Structure 1
Amino acid sequence: MEVLVVGAGAMGRWAGETLTTEFEIAFADRDATAAASAADDVGGRTVALDTDETFDAVCLAVPITAAEAAIEAHANRADRAMIDVTGVMEGPVAAMRAYLPDRERVSLHPLFAPENAPGNVAAVVDATGPVTDAVLDEIGDAGNHVFETDPDEHDSAMETVQAGAHTAVLAYALAAEDVREEFATPVSEVLADLVGTVTDGTPRVYREIQESFEGADDVADAARRIADADGDAFEELYDEAGRRHRGEETDS
């Protein structure tokens, strides 16, 4: 079986490398040099973005904002299945249902940067079959933990684990003063490491996450509540934070 991977960036390369045991890989990207490099790494080949060829499966590894348009553009190249690894699910799943109603459809979100693989992979298995089963098996065999979800649960979770978390880390980085290393505390050291993780990437990826998912305003509102609180009010917020972390019910 052959898979066309659309997008030769980091996540497209991860998809090609992960699937290469079971599938033959072809890459298409508007950057022909990037496509050729990715293909060379997995022993695959390249095709033009507007190729007339068809494939057993098409795997879309494009930016979040390009996902739905890419599904429409490449639907006729997927003989049996389409998979996306774009990082958002509600829109892509709806688009795949519309443009590939009689084919296998799976939306995946690897919850890690490729250099940190393997890890957790969220999956909406919308229409299963032998091709997508083989894809999921390959991802699992590479050491990843694939777990099923639905588009609403996934996209809601991203408001917390991506948009909210990134906002908190970047806000700390922007607010922090330059201090001697000797002043570091266990908490500040962890935060500094997180700043390094978040900022050791490309702004475009994080921009798309912020534009695609809510969550930043909730973090800003919580920070303002803490900044404005004193005495008993602060202690109540501190206790509420602990209860939330333990999964206990809160009044707010």
Structure 2
Amino acid sequence: MDLLVVGAGEMGRWVARTVDRPVALADVDPSTAERAAAGLDGRVRAVPADTEETFDAVCLAVPISVVGEAVERYAPRAERAMCDVTGVMTTPVEAMRGALPDRERVSMHPLFAASNAPGNVAVVGDAPGPVTDALLMDVMAAGNHTFETTAAEHDEAMKTVQAGAHTAILAYALAAGNVREEFATPVSAALEDLVTTVTGGTPRVYREIQETFEGADAVAEAARRIADAEGEAFDDCYREAGE
């Protein structure tokens, strides 16, 4: 079985490394695909983004904002199956249903940066089969834990674990004063580590998450509630947070 991975960024390279089969890697920037393929083993080759080749499976590792368009564009290249690792699920699942009604379809979301692999991988098996099962076996063989979800449950969860969490971390970083390291507490040190993790990526990735999933406003409202709370109102917030 051969696989076309569309998108030679961080997660596209992760897919290419993780699957145990021949991989073709495409990107809108041909030099990016060529450099990525050269940095991987002999199973991986670079192909043009407008390739006319067909493959047993196509995996989309593209930005969230273009995944619907990418499904339409690359559906003819997928002979048996298509999957994605874009980080949103409702949009690609619905697009794949429309464009590939008679082929296997799975949406995956690795819940980690590639540098932190292995980890948890959310899976929506919309129309699974032997090809997508083989790909998931490769993911699990690399030490990742896969778990089934629905597109709706996943996208709702991302409001908290991505949009909300990132908002809280970035807001802390923006509000933090410039203090000497000796003043760090266990809580502030842990937050500083999280700030380093989040800001060590690229703004585009985090911007697309914020634009796709709600959650930032809820964090802002909670922060204002805590800031305004006095006496027992603060105690209520504290206890509620612990629950």
Band the TM-score falls in, shorter-chain normalisation:
over 0.9
1:30-179 mapped onto 2 (5 Å cutoff): 30-40=28-38, 41-43=40-42, 44-179=44-179
Q: Name the amino acid aligned to 1:113.
A: A
Secondary structure of the structure 1 residue equivalent to 2:3:
strand
Q: Partners in 1 of 2:146 and 2:139 — Cα distance?
A: 8
Q: Partners in 2 of 1:238 and 1:7 — Cα distance?
A: 44
Which residue of the partner structure matches residue 218 of structure 1? 218
Range with greater deviation from structure 2 (217-226 or 28-37): 28-37
Q: Partners in 2 of 1:85 and 1:42 — Cα distance?
A: 21
Secondary structure of the structure 2 residue equivalent to 1:126:
strand
Unaligned 5+ segments in structure 2 are none
Q: Normalising by structure 1, report the TM-score.
A: 0.95
Secondary structure of the structure 2 residue equivalent to 1:192:
helix
1:198-213 mapped onto 2 (5 Å cutoff): 198-213=198-213
Q: Partners in 1 of 2:123 and 2:159 — Cα distance?
A: 17
1:179-198 mapped onto 2 (5 Å cutoff): 179-198=179-198
> Percentage identity across aligned positions?
68
Q: Partners in 2 of 1:213 and 1:135 — Cα distance?
A: 27
Q: Flag as ranges the 4+ runs of structure 1 deviating above 6 A.
A: none
RMSD of aligned Cα (Å)? 0.6
Q: Name the amino acid aligned to 1:139.
A: V
Kindly state the Cα deviation for residue 42 of structure 1 after the two structures are TM-superposed. Answer: 2.9
The count of corresponding residues between Structure 1 and Structure 2 is 241
Secondary structure of the structure 1 residue equivalent to 2:83:
strand
Unaligned 5+ segments in structure 1 are 244-252
Q: Partners in 1 of 2:178 and 2:171 — Cα distance?
A: 15
Deviation readout 1:150-180 (Å, 9 max, x if unpaired): 0000000000000000000000000000111
Q: Normalising by structure 2, report the TM-score.
A: 0.98
Kindly state the Cα deviation for residue 33 of structure 1 after the two structures are TM-superposed. Answer: 1.2
Kindly state the Cα deviation for residue 204 of structure 1 after the two structures are TM-superposed. Answer: 0.3
Secondary structure of the structure 2 residue equivalent to 1:42:
coil
